[in-house]
Amino acid sequence: MTKEKSPFSLNIPEIKSLLKINYEVADLSSAYAVLHWDQETYMPKGAIHGRAEQLATLAGTVHKIATSKKVGRLIESLSKKEEAGDLNLCDRALLREWRRSYEREVKVPKRLVEAMSRATSVGTAVWQRARQESKFSIFKDVLQKIFDLKIKEAEHVGFAENRYNLFLDDHEPGLTTEFLDKIFAELRDIVIDISRKAHSANYHIDQDILRKKLDEKELWDFTIAVLTAMGFDFDRGRQDKVAGHPFTTGFHHDDVRITTRFREQFFTSGIFTAIHEGGHAIHHQGGDAALSRTAIHQMHSLGLAESQSRFWENYIGRSAAFWRHWYPRLMQSFPGAGFEAAHEDDFVRAVNKIEPNLIRVDSDEVTYNLHIIIRYEIERDLFANRLKIGNLPEAWNAKIKDYLGLDVPSDAKGVLQDVHWSHGSFGYFPTYSLGNLYAAQINRKIRSAFPDFDERIAKGEMIFVRDWLRDNIHKHGGVYGVDELIKKVTGEPLNPKHFRDYLQDKFGKIYHF
Amino acid sequence: MTKEKSPFSLNIPEIKSLLKINYEVADLSSAYAVLHWDQETYMPKGAIHGRAEQLATLAGTVHKIATSKKVGRLIESLSKKEEAGDLNLCDRALLREWRRSYEREVKVPKRLVEAMSRATSVGTAVWQRARQESKFSIFKDVLQKIFDLKIKEAEHVGFAENRYNLFLDDHEPGLTTEFLDKIFAELRDIVIDISRKAHSANYHIDQDILRKKLDEKELWDFTIAVLTAMGFDFDRGRQDKVAGHPFTTGFHHDDVRITTRFREQFFTSGIFTAIHEGGHAIHHQGGDAALSRTAIHQMHSLGLAESQSRFWENYIGRSAAFWRHWYPRLMQSFPGAGFEAAHEDDFVRAVNKIEPNLIRVDSDEVTYNLHIIIRYEIERDLFANRLKIGNLPEAWNAKIKDYLGLDVPSDAKGVLQDVHWSHGSFGYFPTYSLGNLYAAQINRKIRSAFPDFDERIAKGEMIFVRDWLRDNIHKHGGVYGVDELIKKVTGEPLNPKHFRDYLQDKFGKIYHF
């Protein structure tokens, strides 16, 4: 497929060679992703240790190929061609991604990569058990091991002064604590300002309407209907149930999978999870087929990725316009559930109530960001040796009290709620709030492109949203960096002001402030 | 796990090195198997080409590692140690398996391995479509391509006089057309003799009781109950539904998966499929954990593998003793289905009726073997250039008429019914009948070990069967060759006489001859 109209300079032998290696690495990484997806969805529980070995071997094999001397020589030679101005836009982006990962990975021994893969795939299973039994003590040792491996990794790769920046950069190229300290101070002000206004408005929102026990099969069908309307392509993807943390994974341009769970305090959480993951999946499905199996089919920016899921979840899924169309469908799907007794506006208010919640994924879109800031500060302190793994529960509980005013009743509802650390994903959480900020900026832009945006959403139309996102963002994959793309799309760099304006507008209407 | 009490001589550095490579190859092969399983069970249909690339890359990676110069040197060095008598039983078996595969695979270019993997994974999807539309013409080109690749493979590997022997040997080491011509002549005599006797007995068996449309969820639960009673370990495996051909796949000692379908003419076919695949799975689960991730965890003999599935399916699952226990459960599971109206003995007769059937997997255990002989003759003629791919439907239909007396109404019920050729699995079918012959011999032995065999089966006991098979067959994995093991277990080499005796005894009772 890519042969016909390749966006790369196939007449340059080094580009051809690098692509060939990229396809190999992409295929083996896809195999890794399939095995991980299977582990979370269908794998029998006794298989965990065998699976950990399989994943470790795949990780080691990918690492060996991606850090081979041949790759080093290709990058060197292509860098010269880049200087000479001989590379096109896609060649340069490909080279940029390969150079970054090569320079980082070549310093990490294969043995360490395999050990990390092994520790994290077992770690995920241990975390699940620890959360079920609500005992951090069960998870502590394996988390310590994973953390120690991250420290060892940082030593191999090297870091200027701050190890944590290395892992921030892994998830969002160029991201640093210096930048986050500044942007999160602004974000905190915004969150606190909006929360105070909502609190002062003293306007009661009842959430009983969300506390229904609905038939899971019907709920499932409802999510399928929403995903279909969003434009998720079920011929090139699917949705499965997951016991652990919901996620989206793309094995290939034509195989993108969503996982969803229906187990939180509100029945709507499964619906919003599906919309959120659907946003990720549409992003992945919207890549350029000609960039498939290369490092620039998707952008290397979890912040941008999260902007897509959050845009669909919050800016569309929690909007009044969305439920104008879907609330009647909810009534149809659950005839005896009593939805007729409430007004659609009450339902919209209920899914937007600002109220501190112990659980990040159950939080409203305002106080949610405090969860991110808490995790950011904890991770920053861990890597600065100001906090020990063994003291995580106390540190967690103190910060939840401090920022959200809540007492943490158990490890399950506290430090054990999120899967990320069991994956070795430190430096991941901050990208969630970056996603909120990017989403606000994109939201402003798409609404100016469609003055009748809400009217169309209220009629159940959503394909136009998918298509706009595809044309303006998705299809570019990783050709541009995130800063460049955001500027290209919205006309300015990341600016938290738009998030403030959006929250003020939305919650001002809901809370009358 | 294997470290504690390894059956290998870990003090020999070459054994240690070979095992390390074996673990790597086993893990990557497991990844291949997971991707294949996913393709057949859950993969969205649009993903087929991406998946084909992923599988091709994995196949190529495995091939590269398994045929590396290092492996060649290890085999050479270990062969000398073997001559000097320095290797133990497991070392020698490991060396035997690696030598066989190395000497074969090293002659095949990686490019050809990848091309074959690509052609067969697309081929499977094309075959499915061709079967659905019942048009051989849809499948013809891709089958020709696969066949041509097999011919090319044979040219690379080299063959004495008969290319087909090469592919027979792939599935059953040492198997040749010379041997099969002889043993299948005997088998044909047996089948024709029993069929004639049954026909002459002129004893009508009514199969209406099998033609019920039962709730699939209940049927599924029934198979789970039977598999559990057989001793299949659901903590280390699972069952899934499959649209195509049912199969069992072992990713690891602790992860063995069955696939089942419920779509044939009789509702019982799903049950017998589950028991058949359950037999394969119990074989795999019964391996020695200390041999896990090595080439001798499972024996390299599809004939022996098939003896296990067929023993459970036919010798137990189609026995009167089995249904003494399970027929009442069937009545309980389907209260309104009218099973009470029939006697259990009628049901047993119905599932054992000898009657030529167009479909191999729906055939009785007598005429089934004629299907195998037909496919064997066709494959033998294809590789001897006496038959062309384009003429397969005519050749097929003529042989079905000749051997079974049936007119083939459509390609779907004829030449397109089996998946194997789309996998490039030529030389596979004969092992099904070998499995029948081995099973008869094993049946005789296990019954002499348990004089109350039928009484226990009639009480619903089956774990004792699994345990006997495990101790006598499964746990040995590939330590012995199949000839050696069969002699060890039954006291004599393969002897079709036992199959004749078994059929005579069983069907003599059913048909009163």
Residue carrying structure tokens 């590379």:
A87
A31 with B61: CB under 8 angstroms?
no
pLDDT at A4: 61
Q: Which of A354, A318, A310, A346 is nearest to A194 (CA)?
A: A354
The full length of chain B comes to 513
| Other C-beta atoms lying within 10 Å of the C-beta of residue B305 | 24
Do B252 and B392 lie in one domain? The reply is yes
Per-residue pLDDT, averaged over A258-283, amounts to 93
Phi/psi for A241 (5° steps) reads -80, 150
Kindly calculate the radius of gyration of chain A based on its CA atoms and give it in whole angstroms.
23
**Which stretches within A367-481 are classed as H helix?**
368-383, 392-404, 430-449, 453-458, 463-472
In chain B, % of residues over pLDDT 70: 99
**How does pLDDT run across B61-76, given as a tens digit for each residue?**
999 999 999 999 999 9
Chain A interface mutation, best of B2, B61, B232, highest count of A Cβ atoms under 10 Å: B61
Per-residue pLDDT, averaged over A448-476, amounts to 98
Report whether pLDDT(A327) > 50: yes
Do A106 and A188 lie in one domain? The reply is no
Report whether pLDDT(A86) > 80: yes
**How does pLDDT run across B205-230, given as a tens digit for each residue?**
999 999 999 999 999 999 999 999 99
Confidence band of B453 (pLDDT split at 50, 70, 90): very high
Per-residue pLDDT, averaged over B102-120, amounts to 97
Report whether pLDDT(A298) > 50: yes
Residue carrying structure tokens 């294809």:
B382
Chain A residue with the nearest C-alpha to that of B250: A47
pLDDT at A160: 78
**How does pLDDT run across B23-41, given as a tens digit for each residue?**
999 999 999 999 999 999 9
- Looking only at the bridges linking them, the beta strands covering A248-252 and A255-260 are antiparallel
Chain A residue with the nearest C-alpha to that of B59: A28
Residue ending a domain, choose from B126, B158, B190:
B158
| Residue A346 covered by a domain | yes
Report whether pLDDT(B3) > 70: no
Do B217 and B111 lie in one domain? The reply is no
| Residue A479 covered by a domain | yes
User: What's the mean per-residue pLDDT of chain A?
Assistant: 96
Instruction: Tell me whether residue B306 is annotated as binding.
Output: yes
The percent helix, strand, coil of chain B (3-state, each to 5) is 65, 5, 30
- Reported pTM: 0.96
For residues A80 and A91, give the distance between their C-alpha atoms in angstroms, rounded to a whole number.
Answer: 13
Per-residue pLDDT, averaged over A409-428, amounts to 97
What CATH number corresponds to the domain at position B235?
A: 1.10.1370.30
Q: Which of A242, A208, A507, A247 is nearest to A354 (CA)?
A: A507
The helix (run of H) or strand (run of E) holding residue B65 is helix B48-66
Whether B277 is catalytic is yes
The helix (run of H) or strand (run of E) holding residue B324 is helix B320-333
Chain A residue with the nearest C-alpha to that of B21: A57
B38–A43 CB contact, under 8 Å: no
Do B196 and B96 lie in one domain? The reply is no
Reduce the DSSP state of residue A87 to 3 states and report it. Answer: coil
- Rounded to a whole number of angstroms, the distance from the CA of A367 to the nearest CA of chain B is 38
- Supply the DSSP string of A292-308, one letter for each residue: TTSTTSS-S-HHHHHHH
Among A2-16, A31-45, B177-191, the range scoring the smallest mean pLDDT is A2-16
A58–B23 CB contact, under 8 Å: no
Q: Which of A30, A42, A43 sits opposite B54 (nearest CB)?
A: A30
B370 with B191: CB under 8 angstroms?
yes
Structure token digits, residue A6: 């390749």
| Residue A89 covered by a domain | yes
Residue ending a domain, choose from B97, B129, B158:
B158
A56 contacts on B by Cβ (under 8 Å): 27
B406 with B234: CB under 8 angstroms?
no
Confidence band of A156 (pLDDT split at 50, 70, 90): very high
- Looking at the structure of chain B, the number of domains it has is 2
Report whether pLDDT(B1) > 60: no
Do B184 and B98 lie in one domain? The reply is no
Do A67 and A189 lie in one domain? The reply is no
Do A388 and A415 lie in one domain? The reply is yes
Q: Could you tell me which residues are beta bridge partners of residue A237? A: A256
A54–B238 CB contact, under 8 Å: no
Do B73 and B194 lie in one domain? The reply is no
pLDDT at A263: 73
CA distances from A481 to A93, A303, A340, A470, A471 (A): 9, 11, 48, 16, 16
Residue ending a domain, choose from A158, A190, A221:
A158
Per-residue pLDDT, averaged over B337-346, amounts to 93
Report whether pLDDT(A467) > 70: yes
Q: Which of B46, B57, B252 sits opposite A254 (nearest CB)?
A: B46
User: What's the mean per-residue pLDDT of chain B?
Assistant: 96
Per-residue pLDDT, averaged over A310-336, amounts to 97
Query: What ipTM was estimated for this complex?
Result: 0.95
Per-residue pLDDT, averaged over B412-430, amounts to 97
Report whether pLDDT(A368) > 80: yes
For residues A225 and A227, give the distance between their C-alpha atoms in angstroms, rounded to a whole number.
Answer: 6
Do B137 and B88 lie in one domain? The reply is yes
| Residue B2 covered by a domain | no
Q: Which of A28, A54, A255 sits opposite B57 (nearest CB)?
A: A28
Report whether pLDDT(B135) > 60: yes
Confidence band of A148 (pLDDT split at 50, 70, 90): very high
Do A290 and A403 lie in one domain? The reply is yes
pLDDT at B4: 61
Q: Which of B14, B172, B277, B313 is catalytic?
A: B277
Structure token digits, residue B175: 């198997």
Q: Which structural domain range is residue A119 located in?
A: 13-158
| Residue B72 covered by a domain | yes
Instruction: Tell me whether residue B512 is annotated as binding.
Output: no
β-sheet with A237-241: strand ranges across: A237-241, A255-260, A248-252
Q: Residue A145: left if φ>0, alpha if ψ -120 to 50, beta else—which one?
A: alpha
Confidence band of B9 (pLDDT split at 50, 70, 90): very high
pLDDT at B79: 98
B38 contacts on A by Cβ (under 8 Å): 34, 38
Confidence band of B2 (pLDDT split at 50, 70, 90): very low
| Residue A164 covered by a domain | no
- Rounded to a whole number of angstroms, the distance from the CA of B295 to the nearest CA of chain A is 15
| Residue B61 covered by a domain | yes
Q: Which of A114, A277, A365, A377 is catalytic?
A: A277
| Residue A225 covered by a domain | yes
B44–A253 CB contact, under 8 Å: no
Residue carrying structure tokens 């969300």:
A210
Do A367 and A462 lie in one domain? The reply is yes
Do A249 and A119 lie in one domain? The reply is no
Per-residue pLDDT, averaged over A384-411, amounts to 98
Report whether pLDDT(A159) > 90: no
